[in-house]
Amino acid sequence: MNTNKLTELLNKMNEYRPLDQAQVKALEQVKKETNL
């Protein structure tokens, strides 16, 4: 998985609907796991 592409996509989505804190934490966890 390309985390840069994932982050870019999520950032585009975030322009329309801000992430809530649970989603932010889930995203950070995914990024940690994929960067192992």
23: Cβ–Cβ under 8 A, 6 or more apart, which residues? none
Look at residue 19 in the predicted model and tell me its pLDDT.
Answer: 62
> Are 1 and 33 in contact, with CB atoms under 8 Å apart?
no
Residue type, position 8, single letter: E
Domain count of the fold of the chain: 1
DSSP-assigned letters across all residues of the chain: --HHHHHHHHHHHHHHSPPPHHHHHHHHHHHHHHT-
Instruction: Give the range of the structural domain holding residue 15, as residue numbers without chain letter.
Output: 3-34
**pLDDT (tens digit, 9 = 90+) per residue, 1-36?**
578 888 888 788 777 666 677 888 888 898 888 876
CB-based contacts of 21-30 (< 8 A; 24+ apart in sequence):
30/3, 30/6
